[in-house]
Amino acid sequence: MKQGPSSQLLTELLIILFFFSCHGCHGCRVGEGYVTVTREQVAGLYEDDSEKLELKPDGTFILDPLFGSSSLGQWRIENRFLDGSAILLEKDIVANKLLVGDKLIEKEEPREYIYLYPRRRHGKIALERSESSDWYYERIK
């Protein structure tokens, strides 16, 4: 069935409306620095004011705070439709051994997951720790 000029115009207007409504929504933030990345693009050494993060090409990471103990674990990239990538850090389970009196007690820390969001900042890729604050790991190597 052939469309008349008014139904074709309506179809084109709906397409344009969809494009502009999507451009302002949460799922379409690619223009704001949200990027899709590969493992090769993000592997490296990063730092913020209080810790260093090394994403190794083999999928492991070291999170080394200025104070406290380092964390080790695995990392992977999750690509999100129209929302760029997210990097998931999965910390290894840590078994702490405590000596209480004459007994040795083992306590396992729960597994912890941290999401980082690659963003384009100042022409480079940085890793955003929190989508609601200005907390970034900047690449140093």
Select from 79, 35, 75 the least CA-distant residue to 55. Answer: 75
Cβ within 8 Å of residue 56, ≥6 positions away: 43, 62
Confidence at residue 47, expressed as pLDDT on a 0 to 100 scale: 93
Confidence at residue 81, expressed as pLDDT on a 0 to 100 scale: 76
Looking at mean pLDDT, say which of 36-45, 93-102, 132-141 comes out highest: 36-45
**Mean of the pLDDT values across residues 56-73?**
88
> Is the model's pLDDT at 110 over the cut of 70?
no
Size of the chain in residues:
141
**Mean of the pLDDT values across residues 18-36?**
54
Give me the chain's average pLDDT, please.
78
The per-residue b/e assignment along 1-12, b for 16 or more CB within 10 angstroms, e otherwise, is eeeeeeeeeeee
Residue 117: phi and psi, rounded to 5, are: -120, 110
Looking at mean pLDDT, say which of 31-35, 55-59, 81-85, 117-121 comes out highest: 55-59
The tokens describing 86, both together, are 């997210």
> HSE on the CB side for 75, CA within 13 Å?
28
Domain boundaries, the chain: 1-32, 34-139
